[in-house]
Amino acid sequence: MKSDCIQTTTCQERKKDPIEMFHSGQLVKVCAPMVRYSKLSFRTLVRKYDCDLCYTPMIVAADFVRSAKARDSEFTTNQGDCPLIVQFAANDARLLSDAARIVCPYANGIDINCGCPQRWALAEGYGACLINKPELVRDMVKQVRNQVENPRFSVSIKIRIHDDLTRTVDLCRKAEATGVSWITVHGRTVEERHQPVHYEAIKIIKESMSIPIVANGDIRSLKEAENVWHVTGTDGVMVARGLLANPAMFAGYEETPLKCIWDWVDIALELGTPYMCFHQHLMYMMEKITSRQEKKIFNALSSTSAVLDYLTDHYGIDRTS
């Protein structure tokens, strides 16, 4: 586990309690957990553009607890990386609580992934299969609550919905009774991928609960985020692909501004972001501002120096200026 603040376990923003943010009456703008993508460098970027709360990529709790190598590669943070939620894939209460204890000094809380629909996750008993195992979710939440001494440390869950929404409401009520801090609802079932998001279902869940609810699914602009917030009555919105395409969307930009691309270059190089990740993020960010021919050239670049030369030549982006 790599951190610039291993010894100093709090930072200024750590004092910002996400639960208090959700009770502020203001739209809380959240960067979703994204495998490979919502790592420290990207979190640093979106925070510059009005993102209020960031999640790490999903981390398998069992591997994290058992392997120092996994901890070093999967969880990197620094003093400015907060407020921060660490998301875990877990199916064992003891292992999850052990993982929570490890990250507790460096994060505001943990989130249990109960929504990942990928086959490997379901086969391992992680992700979306947990929406059908409310007792296991209850046990995991209770164990973390018992093992982590900090009362302000949050324990949240991220779910998908059932075909029968009464089952989802029942799951959420049981989670609330167990002490879950808030629930993020992706408004699709496990089987749905690109179908329209069921915002009405999220609204019904919100109206059935007392704890904060965060809406998630197909939000691509600040205007859409505000609309979903109003339509569902939720306490925040979580965005994944919309932020990949435009990390500045929460600041109101309709497409990635050149300054944001410059900021990404600067942050990524400073934090030692691996080339493939550095390049992939730029491909997402530049999707709307490059022609098909430009994409073909840019996507084929194979080194940091080649990318920097391309950006300087085509967009006047020069991090040395």
Residues annotated as catalytic are 116
**Contact yes or no for 112/90 (Cβ under 8 A):** yes
d(CA 112, CA 128): 10
Nearest to 34 by CA among 268, 258, 277, 305: 277
Element (H, E) at 59: strand 59-60
Omega of the bond prior to 117 within 30 degrees of 0, cis? no
- Cα–Cα distance, 67 to 268 (Å, whole number): 26
User: For residue 89, what are the β-bridge partners?
Assistant: 60
Distance CA 321, CA 30 (A): 32
Judged on CB neighbours under 10 Å (0-12, 13-18, 19+), 251 is middle
